[in-house]
A = this chain, B = another copy of it.
Amino acid sequence: MKRVLKNCSVINEDLSIEKKDLYIDEGKFVDFVEAEVEENMNSMIVMPGLINTHTHAAMTLFRGVAEDVPLDRWLSDYIFPRESKLTEEDVYIGSLVGFMEMVKNGITTFVDMYFFPYAVAQAAEDVGIRGVVARGLADVDGHGKEKLKECEDFIHRYSSNPLIRGGVGPHALYTCSNGYFKESVEVARSNESLLTFHLLEGPSERADFRSRANVEAVDFLDSIGAFDEKTIVAHGTHLNDTELKLLSHKKVTISYNPTSNAKLGNGIAPISEAISNGVNITFGTDSAASNNSLNLFNEMKFGALIQRAYRELPTVMKVEELFKMATCNARKPLPFDVGKISAGMLADIVIINPNKLSMLPRKNLFSHLIYSFDTAAIEKVMVGGKWIYDGSFCNVDLGEVIERFEKTVNSIDSRI
């Protein structure tokens, strides 16, 4: 569909605001096209869709399942027993709700790590959101080989899908043997796919790995080629300065997950140091089980606040920097031309209504996008040139989804 969106107030990559018309053809922005459909945006703000570089969408099934318990009990008593009973259909409906919440909150691209990748991909396609589905990999519980084969098959099968690409997701150094982690990296490299894994998320992981493997986690990963410009490291809460310099040199991207890090008691990631060292920083929501929202506007605000509180410094994490972390920075490791609005880029955008209390006074737009944003100001969301949210979800029925989701959660609880 050839479209023109008239009277847009477009946020450019340099964060200037430009009044113009946007032309869209075959899912991408073009300089001009004879439009079949003309829509008036009435000077509303048009921003690139936000990019969520670390999530487990299906875990929306477990939102709020237990609060205020220690991390090991939360995992062993609540999360793992449920995950072990999940069917492909459960993962589909959990992912569907997760992706719907992301879209409603202005996210147009995700990087997901979970199992049943075909179900995750189907949910994304049904909602209309774009993303990388990284098959989660672990061999501590066996079946490592089959998982890796499924991962690679999925990558091949989705290699030309308009919305979805496969990725490789070795879960973490404590759930993968060193040999298996190395094989996973090789699968990612030989398929030119995105590689993503959890790294030094909690306070004990560094010492645990060293005592087991007799080498630092980061040094081991570097030795097997795990760090390059197609790698997204999730969390990195306990990386030190030398390691940040290495990641910067290797052009690795860190997915900063401030809410999840805080909520699970994992600490405060060294993000302002990472920025000083030139590391490419992006944002992730992690899952609704440990956040419990899927809202990158919250991450931008909280991610800045916690760095400032910890350092007693109100000047770190600048507004413009935060906005880039959630948009264009995230383009670098991804197989999609997303994160900015210009000819040749994918038409993934969010329309913001400036006539909201939370957006006043209107002159301080970027401040409001970071520090007072209320997602009620999101009027519409487009992915690949198609509206997927306009106050309602364009491709799915909310009422039916809620009913099916509630049934699924109750069924899972009855199985454990």
Contact = CB atoms under 8 A, between A and B. Distances in A.
A357 B70 CA distance: 26
Given A63-B367, A360-B63, A371-B293, A310 B310 contact: yes
B64 A292 contact: no
Interface stretch (A10-18, A115-123, A314-322): A314-322
A7 interface: no
B68 A360 contact: no
B406 A361 contact: yes
A263 B402 contact: no
A74 B360 contact: no
Given A63-B360, A70-B315, 15 more contacts: A64-B364, A64-B368, A68-B317, A68-B318, A258-B309, A261-B309, A262-B305, A262-B306, A265-B313, A288-B372, A292-B371, A295-B374, A355-B399, A360-B406, A376-B376
A170 to B, nearest CB: 25
A371 B263 contact: yes
Interface in A267-282: 267-268
Given A371-B64, A409-B361, A71 B314 contact: yes
A234 B360 CA distance: 25
A302 B295 CA distance: 14
Contact of A402 (B306, B355, B363): B355
Nearest to A412: B361
A64 B376 contact: no
Contact of A293 (B267, B291, B374, B405): B374
A43 interface: no
20 contacts: A64-B364, A65-B364, A67-B319, A104-B357, A262-B305, A263-B305, A263-B314, A264-B314, A265-B313, A265-B314, A291-B372, A292-B368, A293-B374, A295-B374, A306-B306, A357-B398, A361-B406, A362-B406, A363-B409, A374-B375
Q: How many copies does the complex hold?
A: 2
Nearest to A365: B64
B61 A293 contact: no
A315 B68 CA distance: 4
A100 B266 CA distance: 37
B64 A367 contact: yes
A65 B310 CA distance: 24
A337 B261 CA distance: 39
A86 to B, nearest CB: 14
A101 interface: yes
Contact of A368 (B63, B317, B370): B63
Contacts of A308: 262-265
Contact of A361 (B258, B262, B302, B405): B405
Interface string A67-92: 11111001000000000000000000
Most buried by B among A100, A203, A265, A402: A265
A353 to B, nearest CB: 11
A264 B399 CA distance: 42
* Shortest Cβ-Cβ A-B pairs, 4 listed: A64-B367, A64-B364, A262-B309, A265-B314
